[in-house]
């Protein structure tokens, strides 16, 4: 019996068949259990703050990876979070990036945390958002020195295996 897989966009890359989902859809498997499945799930990034002189970057979306799993015949929802939202597949969730901090507000926690900034004329650094363990990193720290300063957002995501 032949195993048939549908949903998303299908491409062949050497010995691999790649199903890519850029929006919420269903992955359907019929004809048997699909084995040796690897997947990468990425959430949407966090919002940046870019008003006036206070600027910081949003964190990168969290990353979840899984290798060499089996998926029995059936239908599997694939939720693609897009901007500022989580993504989900097979019981796992990639957490959206943290929102950027602004003025006297810290960056928020997320897949990778939102970047921080400095507080007004005091030049006090405001904390960056924490990253989710296994999915990303803490956001970038606010710049030191002159007024005003902002920062980059969360650092590159880290895979969860």
pLDDT per position as a tens digit, 107-147: 889 999 988 876 666 666 778 899 999 999 888 877 654 45
Q: Which helix (H) or strand (E) holds 11?
A: strand 9-13
Report yes or no: 28 and 5 within 8 Å, Cβ to Cβ.
yes
What single DSSP character describes residue 27? E
Instruction: Write down the pLDDT at residue 146.
Output: 45
**What is residue 91's predicted lDDT score, i.e. its pLDDT?**
96
pLDDT at 160 (0 to 100):
41
pLDDT number for residue 95: 96
Mean pLDDT per block of 10 residues along the chain (161 residues) reads 92 93 96 96 86 75 95 97 91 93 83 80 76 90 55 48 40
Pairing assessment for the beta strands 25-30 and 4-6 based on DSSP bridges: antiparallel
> What is the rounded CA–CA span in Å between residue 31 and residue 44?
33
Find residue 110's DSSP bridge partners: 131
Are 17 and 26 within 8 A, CB to CB? no
Tokens describing residue 31: 């004809």
Helix (H, G, I), strand (E, B) or coil at 122: helix
pLDDT at res. 93 = 96
According to DSSP, residue 24 is labeled S
């Amino acid at each position: 019996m032949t195993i048939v897989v549908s949903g998303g966009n299908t491409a062949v890359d050497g010995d691999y068949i790649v199903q890519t989902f850029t929006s919420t859809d269903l992955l359907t498997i019929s004809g048997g259990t699909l084995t040796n499945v690897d997947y990468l799930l990425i959430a949407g990034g966090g919002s940046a703050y870019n008003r006036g002189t206070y600027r910081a970057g949003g964190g990168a979306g969290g990353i979840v990876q899984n290798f060499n799993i089996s998926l029995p015949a059936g239908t599997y929802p694939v939720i693609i979070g897009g901007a500022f939202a989580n993504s989900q597949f097979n019981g796992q969730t990639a957490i959206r990036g943290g929102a950027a901090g602004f003025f006297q507000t810290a960056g928020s926690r997320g897949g990778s945390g939102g970047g921080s900034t400095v507080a007004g004329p005091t030049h006090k650094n405001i904390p960056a958002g924490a990253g989710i363990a296994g999915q990303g990193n803490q956001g970038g720290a606010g710049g030191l020195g002159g007024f005003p300063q902002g920062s980059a957002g969360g650092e590159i995501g880290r895979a969860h295996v």
